[in-house]
Amino acid sequence: MSEKATLTIDGKSYELEVSTGSENEKCFDIQKLRTESGFITMDPGFGNTGSCYSDITYVDGANGILRYRGYPIEEIAEKASFVEICSLLIYGELPNAEILDKFRKALAEHASLHTNLEQHFKGFPPSSPPMAILSAMLNLVSCFHPDVLEVYSEGHGFDRTAALLLSKVRTIAAYSYRMSVGKPFNRPNPHLDYCANFLHMMFSEPYREYERNEVIEKALSLFLILHADHEQNCSTSTVRAVASSRANLFSSISSGVCALWGPLHGGANIGVINMLEDIKTSGRPIDYYLDKAKDKNNDYRLMGFGHRVYKNFDPRSRILKNRLDEVLKELNKKDPLLDIALELEEKTLKDDYFVSRNLYPNVDFYSGILLRAIGIPLDMYTVMFAIGRMPGWIANWRELHDQRLRISRPRQIYTGPQERSFTPVEER
């Protein structure tokens, strides 16, 4: 017999189907509640509302667990490459050597941009925010590949579109950086793998090719893996909401980039470095910043702290923290911001305000220090997050289509004026 929950409103009972996930998470289904009772449920910010059943990523916020398709993030971070994880997230299983090779070749094949598409970079002022460029250019790619717009209604072409997006996002990101510093584009090199090719496009100069560096490439791959998916976060929910109107993959993902841009989401990785720099240069004690973050009359927040789901620790932050020392040592670098970050974390762990609200460092807290170590410019940090999140967005877009989900359309409770008559302006 299936489990049911009973809801009683004004003495009348409603039976609600209960579903259980593979990790024993439970929900009750309220889809028929409004038609049967006239009531809707209210949950601004959707903190307690499920929008889908998903096979992609599992997060257990109470215990700091994150798994992609069942594989713990700690194991993946240690052993996998980003390209393998893209394949895992999008297709559901780890690729064998043959599939991986084919996937790598597809990524290499789609790396370059149509010359007319390249021309569009000239239309952006050099100071343009890279996330605005990324979102606009990803949408524009569709104009050069009209055949892939109908991917799902045609039922084919998905593999090509996914590879195209995963590959081109990196070229667009690197070109937007080159444009912002007034340097010529470096065309992709099909002989380099995913991370090395990106670093080449970012940093090769006419007089000096990018020099391969295994430590940097592995650190970049780690960064991308840790950002690859995180179930129904703000940008992924945006991708799904847009995709639910049966919008194409390009426009759905370009909307996801816009959602990610905000400082409470992906934009926090830039906010963290600005905050740490400010602590360093202002000479003010860390307590000053803690007090400001705790002040209810001030909107200031400690960037890189807190999470909607993690209420104990964010495993991605732990992995980054543990790897940072090693990466800095291997690169023979020191970063004073790391010492400040460690001190800040230590203080918050002893501070009742942060402890009582379960505010711990999230993925953005240490990721910026890793990106600094490997030479990525600050204004590109959120773009790096977007490159990492691409497989998760694509996997969610695909799953929504496969499940043929209904269009996203939440309800509201109207609190405006009741019906009133219109008075022409001259009589008002």
What's the rounded Cα separation, in Å, for the pair 323 and 222?
A: 9
The residues with which 4 forms a beta bridge, in sequence order, are 17
Name the minimum Å distance from CB 67 to ligand CMC: 17
Positions touching ligand CMC (CB under 6 A) are 45, 233, 264-266, 268, 293, 301-308, 357, 359, 362-364
Nearer to ligand CMC, 363 or 374 (CB): 363
Nearer to ligand CMC, 87 or 362 (CB): 362
What's the rounded Cα separation, in Å, for the pair 156 and 152?
A: 7
Contacts of 127 (CB under 8 A, 6+ apart): 180
**CA 307 to each of CA 258, 368, 388: distance values in angstroms, whole numbers, following the listed order:** 20, 17, 19
Q: Coil, strand or helix: which one is 212?
A: coil
Nearer to ligand CMC, 22 or 356 (CB): 356
Give catalytic status of residue 364 as yes or no: yes
The token pair at 126 is 């050099």
Strand (E) or helix (H) holding 417: none
Residue nearest to ligand CMC (CB): 306
Contact predicate 419/74, CB 8 Å: no
Name the minimum Å distance from CB 367 to ligand CMC: 9
Name the minimum Å distance from CB 207 to ligand CMC: 38
Nearer to ligand CMC, 95 or 304 (CB): 304
Name the minimum Å distance from CB 348 to ligand CMC: 9
What's the rounded Cα separation, in Å, for the pair 401 and 133?
A: 27
Name the minimum Å distance from CB 253 to ligand CMC: 16
Contact predicate 9/37, CB 8 Å: yes
Nearer to ligand CMC, 51 or 112 (CB): 51
What's the rounded Cα separation, in Å, for the pair 410 and 202?
A: 42
**Residue spans of alpha helices (H) in 158-267:** 158-180, 194-203, 214-226, 234-243, 249-261
The residues with which 422 forms a beta bridge, in sequence order, are none
Name the minimum Å distance from CB 314 to ligand CMC: 7
Q: Give the number of C-alpha atoms closer than 13 A to the C-alpha of residue 129, restricted to the C-beta side.
A: 12
Given 110, 200, 227, 364, which residue is catalytic?
Answer: 364
What's the rounded Cα separation, in Å, for the pair 129 and 360?
A: 29
Nearer to ligand CMC, 95 or 271 (CB): 271
Name the minimum Å distance from CB 108 to ligand CMC: 30
Q: Coil, strand or helix: which one is 5?
A: strand
Nearer to ligand CMC, 188 or 256 (CB): 256
Give catalytic status of residue 156 as yes or no: no
What's the rounded Cα separation, in Å, for the pair 260 and 236?
A: 9
Given 229, 307, 314, 401, which residue is catalytic?
Answer: 307
Q: Which residues are catalytic?
A: 307, 364
